[in-house]
Amino acid sequence: MNYKTKLIFIALLPIILISVATVFVVNYQSTQLVRTQGDIVEKMYLELKRTELENYIKLAEGAVTPTYNSNLKTRRTAQREATEILRKMSYGEDNYFFVYDKDGTNIVNPRLTYFVGGNWIGLKNGEGKNIVRDMIKIGQEGGGFYEHVWRKPSSGNYVNKLAIAAYLPRWGWMLGTGIYLDDVTSKVNAVQSEIQKTIRQTRIYLLLLMTAVIATTTMILASLQLSEQRLADAKLKKLTARIVEIQEDERKRVSRELHDSISQLLVSARYGIEAALGQTRKGTKIIQPIEKSMTTLDAAISEVRRISMDLRPSVLDDIGLAAALKGLGKEFEAHSKFNVTVDAQPMHDLLTDEAKTALYRVVQEALTNIAKHAQATEITITLNKTKSKIQLEIKDNGQGAALGDHFLQKTAGLGLRNMQERIDNHGGDIQFKLVKPTGFGILVSLPINISRPKA
């Protein structure tokens, strides 16, 4: 491959990679858009269905209210008249009103007439839902909605149905009605199909544009004169220098990752071996290998602790900050002699992902320092929110207060500096303090990110 061909290849490679990355991003964002728009449309239609059901149930209640409140008729006569009114009320092809007494006996069902007079308190659908019992309970608790699968009379198919229940306490009646939701699914599918059609057209235009850009670039580069190769050489040298700089930055990032993740595993392993050593009888042959392993782990921990990491831990994305801290506490407790108590409120979208990572790493580093220096038995981690700040507090009952400032100097290594830098980067404040009568504490305050849109 001659120099000119190499130059063309080097120039085209970023364009090709960007093109491939763009197609990937477009595909991913398109999938997300289709799903999001489908969810929005579905939510909108369901809200309309709920409003419609509320109007229907109010209409039915209004129709039987004069009879229900009448003092001029016997209870049986009033109930018979109300039954006739509700039996004749229907809307649409498949929708009707039904009534069950509090024991589950059907009183009104104009579509499934064989239900009338029977007790269906134990009726379950294919999902295993106890429909009649659940709706009676909902009605007795003040009324509300209930979604389940039910057979649609007009088609005979089992589809999702949204029902609503109300309660007539004087008669012990549950009054209900429902709307089938198969039309909602078809409308959502129609919207998603239209969006996908538009997205396919966009992809075609994008591919055509990328092809034109690559072809034009190739033609321009192919027409370069050999006299311009020196300029190309200079640019290549700059590019090489930039690559070296990027590699150095990447090494720093990876080093931080090793310190904040692998270090914690090594510490857990070290204390597990130490616990095993404490339970091993003196004089046995296994003590020497264990002690040698502990020495090796100490050396590894010492080496890895110089490193810190700037990558986001996947556990935060999977289960959230509060749950991640609780899991971290349980894992640390399981591999050490400490009793860890975690009281963490869910943060949702009050913090950026980077800020959540910073708090998570502070807790990790604090647990490592406690395990190595504090000689504690109890650790408390608290995460809560005020009107304008998120506060994280970590306390132990170790030897911090007893040793005073010497303890702060002893623990003020790379870990505490990393904590300080992480919190400073997010506009927060971190304090290291001695807790009386014994122990060491870390108090972190971060401003709430009110500008972050809700995911």
Burial class (CB in 10 A: 0-12, 13-18, 19+), 187: middle
Candidates 300, 298, 310, 302; CA nearest to 251 is: 310
Decide which of 235 and 376 is more confident. Answer: 376
The mean pLDDT value for 357-381 works out to 84
Superfamily of domain 314-455: Histidine kinase-like ATPase, C-terminal domain (3.30.565.10)
Q: What is the pLDDT of residue 198?
A: 80
Structure tokens at 387: 């009107």
Q: What is the pLDDT of residue 222?
A: 67
Task: Answer yes or no: is pLDDT of 33 > 50.
Answer: yes
Per the CB < 8 A criterion, the answer to whether 27 and 199 are in contact is: no
**Domain ranges across the chain:** 1-224, 229-311, 314-455
Per the CB < 8 A criterion, the answer to whether 361 and 422 are in contact is: yes
Q: What is the pLDDT of residue 453?
A: 39
Mean pLDDT (the chain, rounded): 79
418: three-class secondary structure by DSSP: helix
Per the CB < 8 A criterion, the answer to whether 173 and 167 are in contact is: yes
pLDDT band at 308 (very low <50, low <70, confident <90, very high): very low
168: three-class secondary structure by DSSP: strand
Residue with tokens 């039987």: 64
Task: Please give the CATH number for the structural domain made up of 1-224.
Answer: 3.30.450.20
pLDDT band at 120 (very low <50, low <70, confident <90, very high): very high
CB atoms near residue 167 (< 10 Å): 20
Structure tokens at 196: 């996908």
Structure tokens at 11: 């120039």
Q: What is the pLDDT of residue 309?
A: 37
Q: What is the pLDDT of residue 30?
A: 75
Q: What is the pLDDT of residue 99?
A: 95
What is the maximal distance between C-alpha atoms in the chain?
110
Candidates 107, 133, 137; CA nearest to 121 is: 133
Distance of CA 304 to the CA centre of its chain: 31
Candidates 83, 45, 41, 60; CA nearest to 164 is: 60
Q: What is the pLDDT of residue 109?
A: 92
Q: What is the C-alpha to C-alpha distance for residues 86 and 99, in angstroms, rounded to an integer?
A: 9
The mean pLDDT value for 37-48 works out to 83
Per the CB < 8 A criterion, the answer to whether 26 and 202 are in contact is: yes
Task: Answer yes or no: is pLDDT of 259 > 70.
Answer: no
Candidates 91, 93, 79, 94; CA nearest to 175 is: 79
Tens-digit pLDDT profile for residues 49-99: 899 999 999 999 999 999 999 888 888 999 999 999 999 988 878 889 999
DSSP letter for each residue of 107-123: EE-SSSGGGTT-B-TT-
Element (H, E) at 342: strand 339-344
Per the CB < 8 A criterion, the answer to whether 53 and 145 are in contact is: yes
Q: What is the pLDDT of residue 220?
A: 73
Q: What is the pLDDT of residue 142?
A: 92
